[in-house]
Structure 1
Amino acid sequence: MSGNGGDENRADCRRVLIIDDDRDFADSLSHLLTLEGYNVQRAYSVAAARDAMNTFEAKVALVDIRLGEESGLAFVSELRQEHPDLLCIMMTAYDSAETAIQALKEGAYDYVRKPFYSEDMTATLERCFERIRLTGEREVAEAQLRQAQKMEALGELTAGIAHDFNNLLAVILGNLELVADDVGDNANLRELIDDALSATLSGKELTHRLLAFGRRQTLHPQRIDVGELVAEMLRLLERTLGEGVVIKHLSRGGLWQIEVDRNQLEMSLLNLAINAHQAMPEGGTLQIETANEVLEYSDTLSQEGLRPGEYVAISITDTGVGMTEEVAAEAVRPFFTTKEVGEGSGLGLSMVYGFVSQSGGHFVIKSEVGKGTTVRLYLPKAEQVPAAVLTEDAEQEARGDGAGERILVVEDRHAVRRTSRWMLAGLGYEVVEAVDGDEALKVLSADERVDLLFTDIVLPGSLNGLRLAREARTRNPDLKVLYTSGYAQDALRNDETDLDQIELILKPFTKNELARQVRKTLKAEP
């Protein structure tokens, strides 16, 4: 997208209307300005100027002070009322302060005195178009700021809701699993519990998408070759979309690497492909294109949110029904959907938008009714310095029950704390409890046998989970710590702790997930 436009494009942006009843003068000035690269039209009367403004979107009007029997001053006032963004330059042969003041009062941006040197006129026009450029950039920046503030507020709201939901789901999921352990051979009850567990896990996925939109999900970035990733996904996409959709992959060579969460990128591409498939009920073509893009400042002006930089762009284009501008503008809002009830949650694009934004990139959607939609993801080029390889156990250790280790559970919500206690006790651990950081420190001072501190990151009072752990480890450097949270990224916003350097389990969690994470933490080096 980088590069300068041609002379024709430049002239098209520099449109000047000359309004003067002196035809010879107007023609000569038009010829001069055309040679200087301006797009010029002439009007020899007020009536002709009115007609010209209906078909020629002038940026600057050069208006003579006398237009036959009509006043150029009065016409400038009329032009400014009808076209507020138009800059008017008054041309006058009368060299008086009163004339200049009157012209400015009527709305003229500047004035020049006839006769003038060509350099003076072009300098005046350059000032005009510089002002127009700066005004346009300011308006774009203000629109981008408003959009960013809107999305940030919406993200805060959805993340807060997701956090509360996660605490509720933690209780529901944990208790369902505890009940499931005791149902015995009652097949009907087992089926009911399995249905409830399935619905709870679906709720967990919804809150995950809400956190993704709010840019509060926990990401594990790694270096990725996008071309290879897309190529590996093609078979999955073909199976998912079926025979009615032809998938094309266009990849330009020499793609830069990016550093993002691989699983989330794959999920984002799958979501976009499914959305595209649903937009093509009669079948069609899905094209995935990957390319390096260098966005210059001028490239970002036409699209809110874009910033200059080096990116790998992933474009997903369908030949489906398309969307109106109004629908496209709302497409990433959580729960917004044009589908029938039951056909979708309205969170797919929200999740993709949040993931891309949290990864430092940009999400652009363009659509035309009846022709299709293109979603373009701009993901920043990875730094040139070798990045530390972020590894994660492909499969954590198999579940191992406890052997009587003592765990201190710190959680201010009674129901969540009780559920965690029962789950851990059922796994063979001894459990003690605390409702906040201060009470936890008292327990640790009185009980030297605590093997693991299992604490929520967000706690009431002056000691959150992170500060509690630091204080506890000054007393017992060998103490193992496992954190939990409904939205860890937000909890760590003002803390220096690195998510990749701590043991963390996100709410809601299953009994097996808790068992594996506790066993892993207990075996880890402090």
Structure 2
Amino acid sequence: MTEHATPQQHDSDDRLQLLIEITRDLDMDLDKLLSQILNRLKTVMPGADIGVVYLYDNLQEALIPRSCLGYDQQAMRNLKLFAGESISGRVFQQGIARITQSREEVEQSGGSLNTENERHYRKAIGDRTITSNICAPLTIGEQTTIGTITLSSTHSPFVPKDLDLLTAIAGRISQTIYQSRLVEELRQSEARYRTLVEDLPVGISETSPTGLPLYFNPQALAINGYSPDEINQINVQDLYVHPQDREHLVKSLNAKGHYSYEHQLRRKDGRLIWVRGSTQAVKNATGEIVRYLGIQEDITQERQIGAIRRAVERLRREIWTMRSERDIAQVLVAMRQVMETQEIPFTDCGINVIDDSTAPPTVRFHSMSPEGQWLQTSGHKGASRVLRFWREGHTVYRPDLQTDDPHNEQEAIHPLLPKPVRSVADIPFTYGTLAFNSVTPNAFSPEHIAFMEELSSVLDECFRRLEDLKLIDAKEEQLRIAQKMEAVGHLAGGIAHDFNNLNTVIIGNLTYLLNDLNEDDPRHEDALDAYKAAKRCSTLVEQLLAFSARKVSTPQKIGINATVRELHKMLRRLIGEDVELENDLDPKAGTIYIDRSQLEQVLLNMALNARDAMPDGGKLLVRTRPLDLGDNIFRKLAELTAGHYALIEVTDTGTGMDENTRSRIFDPFFTTKEFGKGTGLGLATAYGIIKQAGGTIDVTSTPGEGTSFLIYLPTQQGQTPHAPIEDQQNKAHGEETILVVEDEPGVLKLAKRMLERNGFTAIEAASPLEAIALVNHYPYTIDLLLTDVVMPDMSGPELVKQLKPLHPEMQVVYMSAYASERFSGEIDQDALLRKPFSEGTITVKVRQTLDMAHS
């Protein structure tokens, strides 16, 4: 009778067979092994329709699915389980196998998933529901857990023997997984190391003690110019230009074990290169050197750059003594020497200096022939070409003018040089271009051009230094003039104060006297002569104040062109018929902010000087144009800031001036006229007027050719002033009370008389202290204070501060012989009455001030 096996026996046999097969296949690829185990478990456990093997990743600090069964693979790849999450995370955390046999137990078996894991897990299982789980830890030794293996069922529960089988399988494969991962990590590490070595930007090599190549990375092969097959056919000793370099390296390695060096090698193509490297000796357990490990980099270009820098530094030291453009010859000599040390095959070199402050820009050519002859020209037919290269701002190299001459240069260059030029390079810099010519075609390599560009940067430094020197010289000249003007200005201020006080009394009383005398009275002519002399004295004082910037001016916005046109007839009469007068007025010249009468005075003075410089006749040109002055272009005008300006140019064709005369032209009391025919204040006055308006004057002159005065005035400065005071011959009347404070008795008496003649009540005080005492006891209202500015005990502004609290409604008018900078911030120009004044000017000023207060 034959016994038949029960289903339970078949099941046990299958499970035992599974363990045997797993044990047999442990040397299989890890991923293939895990996939096979999950599929075989499904055959012996029909309820196991879902399975996953998690392995712990130390970098991510999470369990990562390594092999899956029955899940959406893409969704599982995004899953990262942390310790304690779900049954797998709980088993990993505790190291104990677990079983859940109902849906409720499944939900209670582990911690809930985080939001992101929950989303990925739901997508992985779809709409299925897990009803039972078994999970076993993958453990190495007694304490190290490296992952978990989990089976899940959606229709029938697992039983304890299922968990026993899973635990047995986990025990069998844990060590295999661990070893497989070690091998895998080692392979990855080797791959990373090889990638690192292969991709390094320096050469890495390994050689035998006898010089046989064992390994060269791609960069080491590139440095030496060999392929992998070719490098194995040589001995590294053959790479050394100087055999003693290799001998010295070996001796140092034997003695110290390492060696750092810089020496020359010969590439496969025969080219010599410089390398910087370091070699380490590798020894075996007995201390014997078995191989050399080396690292090296190609420093040929670095050494070339170093040589260029040293050559450039030599040039920089040579040109440091350059003080002006006249010293360019010595710069060209030094540049030629530096070029020759670099073995650059050039024939001629030159510097083209561009001055774009002129219209059109000027090009000055400086060159040095091979024989050392210095050539200097200006304005030849190559100027437009140089300007084009300079504006384009990049190097222009023409390898062979004989075959390709796009700019028609041969016609321009050949007259300047003895031989036909073939190669030409123009390198622009801030102040012009640097030019190199050669009679050899294709003479300059990219390295040569790079060196030339380096030289152009040195020229930039050189010319920038020249600009700084010009700026310093201009500042020193400006300071010298300012100091002179300051000294004479103090003198002028004192003279003006005394003269104008005296003239106020003289002119005022002479005016009354002339009004009282009939014209047929013999004394009338004497009084009139005295009046005219006093007026001329006032004019001289005005000139003193104007050049020292102490004159009280009334600036306003005026059109430059309109002013020049209105002055044309007067200039025509002044300069005479033998001098041609021409205006060249740019419609865009704009408006400026200046006292109109002072600008007319400046132009009249320059026209008179021009007339005197053209005794045999000539031409006087008055030109206007707008200018936008930049920081670099007009640095020679050191006192001007960048901005919008108007230029008034007064040019004559007269005798001109030498440099010594030109440098002193604005000095006060300096004149080239015969004694008694000039005060020396004309141009000094003009300079002071223009400076006071925020501008400056420049002058260019060539003996025998003529002179140009260039007046620069800002077009966007200041505000439109109040309407000018009405005709000074008119008089104003009133009945208000005026307090007159003046330390000069004659002026005090005259001012009181003028006011009272026109209906005002005038009370007088000869000093500020007397005025304070008077006001403290004066019982009536004082409508206006008319006070001198400069007085012995107290200034006018200080007196106002004392009296204002006692009479807050009291208006103020200041009398001044000149505008002192000391009070420029305290006195409103509209409240200033200039001395000498007439009866009309004093009464109109008082009336206007009172009316403005009541309006």
- Which deviates further from its counterpart, 442-451 or 388-397? 388-397
In structure 2, distance between residues paired with 1:246 and 1:26: 59
**Are the aligned partners of 1:148 and 1:305 in contact in 2 as well (CA < 8 Å)?**
no
Shift of 1:267: 2.7
Q: What are the within-5 Å matches in structure 2 for residues 67-146 of structure 1?
A: 122=455, 125=458, 129=462, 134-135=468-469, 137-146=471-480
Shift of 1:356: 0.4
Specify the code of the residue in structure 2 equivalent to 1:521: T
Q: TM-score, normalised by structure 2?
A: 0.46
In structure 2, distance between residues paired with 1:443 and 1:516: 26
Shift of 1:491: 4.7
Q: Is 2:460 the partner of 1:460?
A: no
Q: What are the within-5 Å matches in structure 2 for residues 488-499 of structure 1?
A: 488-493=819-824, 495-499=825-829
Shift of 1:276: 1.9
In structure 1, distance between residues paired with 2:674 and 2:349: 56
Shift of 1:168: 2.5
* Local SS of the residue matching 1:475: coil
Q: Is 2:683 the partner of 1:338?
A: no
Shift of 1:361: 0.2
Say if 1:429 and 1:270 are closer, same or farther in 2 by CA, change over 3 A: same
Q: Is 2:331 the partner of 1:15?
A: yes
The answer for the alignment partner of 2:554 in structure 1 is: 220
Say if 1:469 and 1:30 are closer, same or farther in 2 by CA, change over 3 A: farther
Shift of 1:166: 1.6
The answer for the alignment partner of 1:153 in structure 2 is: 487
The answer for the alignment partner of 2:442 in structure 1 is: none
In structure 2, distance between residues paired with 1:457 and 1:486: 9
The answer for the alignment partner of 1:229 in structure 2 is: 563
**Are the aligned partners of 1:226 and 1:258 in contact in 2 as well (CA < 8 Å)?**
yes
- Number of residue equivalences: 444
Q: Is 2:592 the partner of 1:268?
A: no
**Are the aligned partners of 2:467 and 2:635 in contact in 1 as well (CA < 8 Å)?**
no
In structure 2, distance between residues paired with 1:260 and 1:124: 44
* Same amino acid, percent of matched pairs: 33
Say if 1:330 and 1:168 are closer, same or farther in 2 by CA, change over 3 A: farther
Specify the code of the residue in structure 1 equivalent to 2:730: A
In structure 2, distance between residues paired with 1:368 and 1:10: 17
In structure 2, distance between residues paired with 1:123 and 1:321: 40
Q: What are the within-5 Å matches in structure 2 for residues 18-417 of structure 1?
A: 18=334, 25-26=340-341, 28=343, 31=346, 34=349, 122=455, 125=458, 129=462, 134-135=468-469, 137-180=471-514, 182-183=516-517, 187-302=521-636, 305-383=639-717, 387-388=719-720, 390-395=722-727, 398-401=730-733, 403=735, 405-417=736-748
The answer for the alignment partner of 1:473 in structure 2 is: 804
In structure 1, distance between residues paired with 2:677 and 2:339: 69
Specify the code of the residue in structure 2 equivalent to 1:153: A
Q: From 433, 438, 441, give the equivalent of 2:772.
A: 441
**Are the aligned partners of 1:19 and 1:26 in contact in 2 as well (CA < 8 Å)?**
no
Q: Which sections of structure 1, spanning at least 5 residues, go unmatched?
A: 1-8, 56-116
In structure 1, distance between residues paired with 2:460 and 2:725: 61
Specify the code of the residue in structure 2 equivalent to 1:398: N
In structure 2, distance between residues paired with 1:470 and 1:417: 21
**Are the aligned partners of 2:788 and 2:815 in contact in 1 as well (CA < 8 Å)?**
yes
Shift of 1:335: 3.3
Shift of 1:311: 1.0
Deviation track 1:30-72 (CA, whole Å, cap 9, x = no partner) reads 849959999785999xxx9xxx89x9xxxxxxxxxxxxxxxxx
Specify the code of the residue in structure 2 equivalent to 1:314: I
In structure 2, distance between residues paired with 1:397 and 1:477: 32
Shift of 1:471: 3.9
* Local SS of the residue matching 2:656: coil
In structure 1, distance between residues paired with 2:639 and 2:500: 30
**Are the aligned partners of 2:624 and 2:646 in contact in 1 as well (CA < 8 Å)?**
yes
* Local SS of the residue matching 1:15: helix
The answer for the alignment partner of 1:74 in structure 2 is: none
Shift of 1:198: 0.6
CA RMSD of aligned residues (A): 4.0
**Are the aligned partners of 1:458 and 1:491 in contact in 2 as well (CA < 8 Å)?**
no
In structure 2, distance between residues paired with 1:239 and 1:391: 31
Say if 1:394 and 1:244 are closer, same or farther in 2 by CA, change over 3 A: farther
**Are the aligned partners of 1:454 and 1:484 in contact in 2 as well (CA < 8 Å)?**
yes
**Are the aligned partners of 2:625 and 2:648 in contact in 1 as well (CA < 8 Å)?**
yes
* Local SS of the residue matching 1:460: coil
Specify the code of the residue in structure 1 equivalent to 2:784: L
Q: Which of 1 and 2 has higher RCO (CA within 8 Å, sep 6+)? A: 1
**Are the aligned partners of 1:457 and 1:491 in contact in 2 as well (CA < 8 Å)?**
no
Shift of 1:211: 0.8
**Are the aligned partners of 2:623 and 2:649 in contact in 1 as well (CA < 8 Å)?**
yes
Say if 1:422 and 1:183 are closer, same or farther in 2 by CA, change over 3 A: same
* Local SS of the residue matching 1:421: helix
In structure 2, distance between residues paired with 1:317 and 1:296: 24
In structure 1, distance between residues paired with 2:468 and 2:348: 22
Shift of 1:149: 3.0
* Local SS of the residue matching 1:454: strand
Deviation track 1:213-260 (CA, whole Å, cap 9, x = no partner) reads 011122222222212322233233324434322211112332232222
Deviation track 1:425-445 (CA, whole Å, cap 9, x = no partner) reads 455544322233332122122
In structure 1, distance between residues paired with 2:772 and 2:518: 40
Deviation track 1:267-313 (CA, whole Å, cap 9, x = no partner) reads 32222223322332332211110011223344444456454432100
Q: TM-score, normalised by structure 1?
A: 0.72
Shift of 1:472: 2.6
